[in-house]
Amino acid sequence: MTALFDTFYKAHGSITLNELRVMLCIVEAHDRGRPVSPSDLGFHLGIPVTTVSRIVSRLLKRGKITSKRFANDHRKKVLLATPKLVKRRKKGLAEMTKVMVEVWGWEPLN
């Protein structure tokens, strides 16, 4: 299944699986109105913070995400989803659902 996600998202945006995982976590935090930091992502995804930092740097350079400083602690960074990322996630999930229905005969819940 990981190969399917990797192949699908490489075809639709040239991103790695870990970049996808980071972006999805950032969008989830956005949807819930919660701040998320690189160390939060590392803990949640089970990957080293150094790896998260490299991924975040690439995503910031490509304009996939933005960042700002925490209000209470200016040493920490909050990662934010761009409006384009939120829109792309909705489109990507719709496309992925279509693939799952066509390929696996999966029936989405209503």
* pLDDT category of residue 72 using cuts at 50, 70 and 90: confident
pTM comes to: 0.72
Hey, what domains does the chain have and what are their CATH numbers? 2-104 (1.10.10.10)
Determine the Cα angle at 58 with ends 22 and 94, to 5°.
45
Q: What is the per-residue pLDDT for 110?
A: 44
Q: What percent of the chain has pLDDT over 90?
A: 28
Flag the least confident range among 17-21, 37-41, 54-58.
Answer: 17-21
